A and B are shown apart, each in its own frame.
Chain A
Amino acid sequence: MTVTATPPSSGVTGKISNYLDERTSISGAVKEFGRKIFPDHWSFLLGEVALYSFVIILLSGSFLTFFFQASMASVQYDGSYVPLKGVEMSVAMSSTLDISFDLRGGLLLRQIHHWAALLFISAIGLHMLRVFFTGAFRKPRELNWSIGFVLFVLAMAEGFTGYSLPDDLLSGNGLRIIDGMIVGLPVVGTWISFLLFGGEFPGSDIIGRLYTLHILLLPLVVLAFIVLHLMFVIIHKHTQYPGPGRTEQNVVGYPVLPVYAAKAGGFFFLVFGVVVLIAATVTINPIWAYGPYDPSPVSAGTQPDWYIGFADGALRLMPPHLETYWFGYTWSWNIIIPVLLLLVFLAVVFAYPFFEAWVTGDKREHHVLDRPRNAPVRTAIGAAGVTFYAVLWAGAASDIIATHFKVTMEGVINTLQIMLILGPIFAFMIAKRVCLALQKKDREIVLHGFETGRIVRLPGGEFTEVHQQLDDYDRWQLVSFNDNAPIMVRPNARGKITGATRRRAAWSRFFFEDRIAPVTQTEYKQELEHSHH
């Protein structure tokens, strides 16, 4: 071929790039990754917020490890916080106090670390909700949902282990509750507790063990899963909201280089800025007010950090006195049932994409997202799940709700117990109705246009409001969605109807019995002709 050799790049940048490329062949990767297209929508940045929070946590956490000592050896505090002077406490607590009061910038870094951790998990939660309600978990992304779910659980574990490290009264009480839950498991509970705490609670091992988990094992696993999660995002390409020109084969948006790299880089600093601003002005986890852990005092208003709240709430909402004595063991149903409830809830969250794929029998790839209203039953299931979680969450704050709204604690607990069962059912019905109504409204707008607010009097004296048809772009957004019909029960090749087929058909009816079909071309044309007469 007669391609002229490209002249060697002049200038420093060119030379450096050339040097690197000749030794690493990195240009291929840069070209591939730099041309990756990402669509622009605010809700696509929630996962990014989680990622950036994690980076902030890594940075601030590394700083804290330089000064924190994970030891439960006893020491007399001799730092500058007066009301704890001379008080006996563990080295872990004392070194955390030293970080807070006697290390320049220590308190700020501690607060950055903790606030970023809260933001990390809440951003993950919101990101999961976005993925759920838009159906972004459908093929080919089911596995990535699973990876994300594991990250959510790992993040909670990271949070809880970190929360316990200062060995203060509040977190000590939290650990005591965990110990209680473990001991409440029949047969093996006591032994697991002994194994974990190195003997009787609290022992002198747990802080060191949690520290290893918190700064070594869990971060490594989180990092590995984040890498996996992002690799899948690149392999699958990003999803996009429906719109004109957006298909299952393309991605409409901006390339990573230079647009997204700049935007995302800038966004990192914005998130960092928000976290630092919060950390500099708002107290979090004031361990100096809580004092060192001692198994005897338990403070009123003891709560875990928000992400463990749903578990605490499950324990609080469980009716008391449910215990049986079988085979020489006490079976504490008031512990076992909440633990099982939480495990089942998490299992449902994990398994939902696979379940929905089985119900719909949909083997197609989906890169264009659903608008939540166009999948009414899924949206309703999500609303029910959110309500269930929220009630458990509120349960953890039942005493604070009681004091601040001046109601009785029993009233709050009983209301929440009822809400835990009825709330999700109501949420399901309301959300489904709202979705169907919105779909009907969309249909109405497509067929008859939108109201212009212009009232015209006809020669006969009749008043009508002038409706205007949507333009083609807006209309496309309202008509381009999948219409799922319930699956028919059909005999298989051997002429038999299996139980699985029946169950699947029943679920399919549950999902798609009530549905609003998108406006078809014929319908639309007919309606146009009709309105011209």
Chain B
Amino acid sequence: MSQKPETHRKRGRRSPVAIVLLVGIGLITTGAAYAMATTATASAEVDLMSPQVIDEGQKLFAANCATCHGQQAQGTDNGPSLIGVGAAAVDFQVGTGRMPMQGNGPQAPAKPVQFTDEQVKALAAYVASLGPGPSIPSQSDLTGGDAANGGELFRINCAMCHNVAGAGGALTEGKYAPELKNTSAVHAYEAMLIGPQNMPVFNDLNLTPSEKKDIVAYLEYLKENPSPGGLELGSLGPVSEGLFIWIIGLGAIIGLTIWITAKSN
């Protein structure tokens, strides 16, 4: 009886439902704003043909790349010529942080990207203007592939270096094939086009554009779907499984044996 007004009052803005709703609205708006912001940056359409962009790219190149690749990108003793490598090569090497290179080594490792997306595109535009080469794949090159066929192609063409689960692998003399779990679709596609570092080129006769699309689809599937079996242990197969059973598995069991044979006080 006396509770009636109380329940009535609860229906106001102080009701728990209102809190849930408010939090929900807040999450959705922030999420949407974030999603819009990220899609905005991802699809930052930079016109690679525009003279201003090429011009900006040239300035960036002179300041950051010319030491090794030469003022006209003609190459020096310390770095190869970039004439004709195409926009895809720059987008891959600079867009994954491999370039500018920090030091000489068997291979330039991926590291935090040094430039904004616009700057990367400007550099790509400049290098592309020097001579014809592979261009940055468009969104339509990357989506809608057949993951099953991609898996087959991956096992045949990529697994011997990158490991069948994309966990990466060792090559000779300190070189290595990196793991692919953190590689974006566009960078994976570009890598096949240009054959960066120690990787061979997979040209369009070797793997057709639609086959490349399938491989990208397979890699995206692996990224989006965590292992149905639980923790992946780095997808390293029997080595990490063996270490796990010896250290965690047998460790836990030994703990239990000590516990059940301990003398009760």
Contacts and interface: CB of A to CB of B under 8 A. Distances in A.
Contacts of B237: 170, 285, 301-303
Contacts of B230: 111, 280-283
Q: Is the interface of A mostly helix, strand, loop or mixed?
A: helix
A266 B155 CA distance: 46
Contacts of A403: 168-170, 176
Interface stretch (B58-66, B76-84, B249-257): B249-257
Contacts of B236: 301, 400
B231 A281 contact: yes
Contacts of B147: 82-83
Q: Is the interface of B mostly helix, strand, loop or mixed?
A: helix
Interface stretch (B3-11, B131-139, B221-229): B221-229
A409 B170 CA distance: 7
Nearest to B173: A408
A399 B249 contact: no
B34 interface: no
B159 A299 contact: yes
Contacts, number: 197
A275 B250 CA distance: 10
Interface in B246-265: 246, 248-250, 252-254, 256-258, 260-261, 263
Interface size class of A (residues with CB under 8 A): 35 or more
Given A42-B261, A83-B218, A291-B155, A282 B148 contact: no
A49 B245 CA distance: 13
B161 A300 contact: yes
Given A87-B151, A294-B155, A300-B170, A122 B249 contact: yes
A300 B159 contact: yes
Interface string B156-194: 100111111101111111101100000000000000000
Nearest to B252: A274
A407 interface: yes
A298 B164 CA distance: 8
A300 B169 contact: yes
Contact of A305 (B161, B168, B241): B241
B242 A305 contact: yes
B249 A274 contact: yes
A409 B176 CA distance: 9
Interface string A380-406: 000000000000000011111011001
A163 B216 CA distance: 30
B235 interface: yes
Contacts of B248: 278
B238 to A, nearest CB: 4
Interface in A117-134: 118-119, 122-123, 126
A91 interface: no
Interface of B: 106, 147-148, 150-152, 155-156, 159-165, 167-174, 176-177, 218, 221-222, 227-233, 235-239, 241-242, 244-246, 248-250, 252-254, 256-258, 260-261, 263
14 contacts: A87-B152, A270-B260, A282-B229, A282-B230, A283-B228, A283-B230, A285-B238, A297-B155, A301-B167, A303-B237, A305-B241, A306-B238, A396-B239, A403-B168
